Amino acid sequence: MTTPNPTLRQRQLAARLRDLRHQAGLNIADVAERLLCSPAKISRIETAQRRVSLRDVRDLCNLYNADPSPLMALAKDAQQREWWQEYDDPEFRDMIGLEVEASAIVEYETTTVPGLLQTEDYARAMIRGWLPRIAGDILDDRVAARMKRQDLLHRLDPPRYWVLLDESALWRHVGGVQTMHEQLDHLARMAELPQITIQVIPFTVGAHMGFDSAFRHLAFDNKSGIADTVFVEHQMGHFYLEGYRVDRFKEIIDYLRAMAESPQDSRKRITDMATKFHP
């Protein structure tokens, strides 16, 4: 039997509670006032930023005049532990939980090879470059978690993974010549897998719609009850976007796919770049 995904269950629970509030004709301030809590707490529950206690579910269902039983079951599943919940970055581990359940992932990266396609040496150099004062044991844990994430691309039912990669990622020296050679060679081999498509956006494209920031679009099948989500990782934090805000990113994805080199030409470019880094 498949183990319930706690990240997915938490988001399903949040969506159900939000729908029940709307059906009850209440706003967040109304609910907070009646339950003697802050509006921020209700908002965080409904956006899956806060784990919901069984008492919270019971009180909210009583307020909405709804049967608490199915939502109690979701809340219990949301409290289960999975490997990614041991990850030391609580904001990023939610993304890993969603990634595991996604039916398709489109990733646009501006400067580096995406984590799902990184070699261990490249990942180590990347993380150390991003966090130069990181402790050795934490660095080891993060590298191990990044390698563990990649298992989803090799399972029996992998998500469709489409990477839009700016050419700068092929030129940026991360970890030295040997590391770059191995990384680009690995990238070219991964591009041959049927579930993976890689397109390079060459410098010659010039200015384009993706200049703002890298992002990851995660799509889910209808049975999950989870809306498509865009994850944006930034120095100021991690952001999860849903609803109408996702439409803008779908437009950017379509644009970048059209502007990028074909998968065949992209694979050749990556292979050629690997030879430039041959030690």
Domains and CATH numbers, the chain: 6-78 (1.10.260.40), 83-276 (3.30.870)
3-state SS class at 209? coil
Is the pLDDT confidence value at 88 over 70? no
The residue-averaged pLDDT of 261-266 equals 97
What's the rounded mean pLDDT across residues 137-161?
A: 91
**For residues 11 and 44, what is the distance between their CA atoms, to the nearest angstrom?**
11
Average pLDDT over residues 17-37: 88
Q: Among 207, 112, 206, which Cα is nearest to 163's? A: 112
Q: Which residues contact 7 (CB under 8 A, 6 or more apart)?
A: 82, 84, 93, 94, 96, 97, 98, 100, 101
Please give the C-alpha separations between residue 259 and each of 34, 107, 111, 188, 254, in angstroms, as whole numbers: 53, 15, 17, 20, 9
- Inform me whether the pLDDT recorded for 5 exceeds 60: no
Please state, in angstroms and rounded to a whole number, the distance separating the CA atoms of residues 148 and 152.
8
191 vs 278, higher pLDDT: 191
Is residue 128 within 8 Å of residue 177, measured between CB atoms? no
Predicted pLDDT of residue 257: 96
DSSP conformational letter for 220: -
Mean pLDDT computed over 259-270: 97
Other C-beta atoms lying within 10 Å of the C-beta of residue 18:
17
Pick the more confident residue, 87 or 153.
Answer: 153
Are the C-beta atoms of residues 169 and 111 closer than 8 Å to each other?
yes
Write out pLDDT tens, residues 214-243: 999 999 887 666 778 888 877 666 777 877
Is the Cα dihedral 149, 135, 92, 239 positive or negative? negative
Q: Say how many C-beta atoms besides its own lie within 10 A of residue 225's C-beta.
A: 14
Rounded to whole angstroms, the Cα distance separating 54 from 92 reads 25
Asked if 30 contacts 37 with a C-beta cutoff of 8 angstroms, the reply is: no
pLDDT of residue 120: 97
Quote the pTM value. Answer: 0.75
User: 106: part of which helix (H) or strand (E)?
Assistant: strand 104-109
AA letter at 139:
L
Cα gap 22→27, rounded to integer Å: 7
Q: Best-predicted range by mean pLDDT among 35-39, 74-78, 140-144, 187-191?
A: 187-191
Which pLDDT score, from 0 to 100, does residue 1 have?
34
CA atoms within 13 A on the CB side of 32: 13
pLDDT of residue 2: 47
* Alpha-carbon distance values, 257 to 39, 64, 205, 252 (Å): 41, 45, 12, 9
User: Given this model, what pLDDT does residue 98 score?
Assistant: 81
**Please, what is the average pLDDT of the chain?**
86
